[in-house]
Chain A
Amino acid sequence: DVVMTQSPLSLPVTLGQPASISCRSSQSLVYSDGNTYLNWFQQRPGQSPRRLIYKVSNRDSGVPDRFSGSGSGTDFTLKISRVEAEDVGVYYCMQGTHLPRTFGQGTKVEIK
């Protein structure tokens, strides 16, 4: 199975400041069709997960543009340009290139 490793696992941030989460995969996530199926999800306290980013860098509909995804191969990053109070929660990366699909451990974002 592809292991997804996130860092840090806990991220205290100041409102209005940037935040960055790293996700590394144990194998390349480039699929045979040329796409890289790396997704980012946000799970606010008490809520279901919500996808923010698909195929590395594409924002889902309704996702604020302060969220951005980047990376390639085995190394990926989610950035929040200016953290807002509503961004508190746990963030997961997930790969959909290889079966079984696998998630990172999650990064808990909290306000300092």
Chain B
Amino acid sequence: EVRLLESGGGLVQPGGSLRLSCAASGFTFSSYAMSWVRQAPGKGLAWVSSISGIDGGTYYADSVKGRFTISRDNSRNTLFLQMNSLSVEDAAVYYCARHLYGDVEAWGQGTLVTVSS
């Protein structure tokens, strides 16, 4: 069974940083591309970033480029999202998701990021 377990969310002040983690199990992690998708309270879904499983190529939404960094540790079956210079617009539930047949398929339960002074 595919399992994705996010952690690292919490309350941070504007301008602060957080590092999200996503522990994967039930599949060969290194073989799959992964993404982060977020959902602001009461809003829709927004893609944040993706990382290839093969060459580690990374991709970002313009809204987070230069502030967020996606990475993976295939030896620990873990996906990361380093988030710097956070603003209130970044407050959301952050989901990690595995790709299958070309796009995001399995999702974790999400971790809540709150940005407030």
A residues apposed to B, CB below 8 Å: 35, 37, 39, 41, 43, 48-51, 54-55, 58, 60, 90, 92, 94, 96, 99-106
Contact = CB atoms under 8 A, between A and B. Distances in A.
A55 B47 contact: no
B95 A48 contact: yes
B interface secondary structure, majority = strand
B103 A39 contact: yes
Chain B interface residue count: which class?
A: 20 to 34
Contacts of B29: none
B40 to A, nearest CB: 12
Nearest to B106: A51
Contacts of B80: none
A96 B45 contact: no
Greatest chain A CB density within 10 A among B37, B46, B50, B102 is at B102
A100 B103 contact: no
Nearest to A60: B105
B89 interface: no
A98 to B, nearest CB: 11
B41 interface: no
What 4 A-B pairs come out closest when comparing CB atoms? A96-B103, A101-B47, A48-B107, A103-B45
A103 B44 contact: yes
Given A49-B95, A60-B105, A103-B44, 7 more contacts: A48-B107, A50-B107, A60-B100, A101-B103, A101-B104, A103-B46, A104-B44
